Amino acid sequence: MKKLFLFLACSIFLYNCESGTSSSQAMMKFENNVATTKNFFQAFSDKQLDNMEGYVSEDFTWSPPPTGVDSLDVSTWKATMVGFNATFNEIEFTNAQYYAGLDENQKPNGDVRVYGTWKSLNADTNAPVLMDYYAVLFFNEEGKIQHQSEWYNASDLNQNALTDVAVIIPLTKGFSVWNKGFMGDKENREKFCDDSRTLVLRDVNDPNKVSVYLYDVNMAKLGQMMMDPKFAEFAISIGEDLENKKVYILNSL
């Protein structure tokens, strides 16, 4: 009986040692992969995309937030990262929190779950952009990122971006009066949009209504201008019906 007790005690001890060793190895792998994740994100912030690509496997796949878009290949992923880097400056990943990925037994498997906020400046407007972010990075045995799944609100990326705008304006003093005043205000429009692309269309059914299309509008600067009482005074002076004036944001399909 004493021998049986000793055998069971030794078995339990060995099991606990093996379990503890396995858990330690899993956590060590997780910590190494967290370090890789930090370097991966830092390379993106530094706009060193070749270095960033060095952290992913050859068969790397990427799943961005849009529904129905899954497991895109590495070339598509890198082209998108190039686009992001061109659109934003001073990119920084802040408030980062890293958690272990879990296997089917709810034990760490080396994968990394990460939460944080991306901070940057819009490259065109130099205005701040904040985007809350969550991702899961799956690693292979060589410590390379094999798959990345991301979740974020894509509309956050459009904060303070240049926008295309359509304005429908009823006229109270006729088209010729309005058009002369509008065309003479080119210098002010150039402060908030690309006026070389401004398009004016006269309504064929109502000669006292026009549609104005403004491109690459800096909404922050436009908003500041509209807060100035002189803006409304000028619009009324050239015959704009401000109560029935309508402004629409144009979004790409």
pLDDT digits (tens, 9 = 90+) for 97-150: 999 988 887 788 889 999 999 999 988 888 899 999 999 999 999 999 999 999
Tokens 């190494």 -> residue: 32
pTM assigned to the model: 0.67
Beta strands in 55-171 (DSSP E): 56-63, 72-73, 88-102, 108-122, 128-139, 145-151, 162-170
Q: CA 253, CA 250: separation in Å to the nearest integer?
A: 9
Burial 111-142 (b: 16+ CB within 10 A, else e): bbbbebebbbbbeebeeebebebebbbbbeee
| Res. 13 pLDDT band, cuts 50 70 90 | very low
Task: Give Rg (Cα) of the chain.
Answer: 29
Residue 251 pLDDT level (bands cut at 50, 70, 90): low
64 near 150, Cβ under 8 Å? yes
Cβ-contact 195, 189 below 8 angstroms: yes
Rounded CA gap, 54 and 40, in Å? 9
Q: Which residues pair with 130 in a beta bridge?
A: 119
Residue ranges, comma separated, of all CATH 3.10.450.50 domains in the chain are: 17-158
Please list the residue range(s) of the chain that carry CATH number 3.30.70.100: 162-250
**Tens digit of pLDDT for each residue in 23-60?**
677 778 999 999 999 999 999 999 999 999 999 999 99
Q: Is residue 217 within 8 Å of 135, Cβ to Cβ?
A: no
Instruction: Tell me which residue has tokens 């030794």.
Output: 10
Please check the confidence at residue 167 and state whether its pLDDT lies above 70: yes
* CATH number, domain 17-158, options 3.40.50.261, 3.40.190.170, 3.10.450.50, 3.40.50.300: 3.10.450.50
CATH number of the domain at 162-250, please?
Answer: 3.30.70.100
Q: State pLDDT tens for residues 154-165.
A: 878 877 778 889
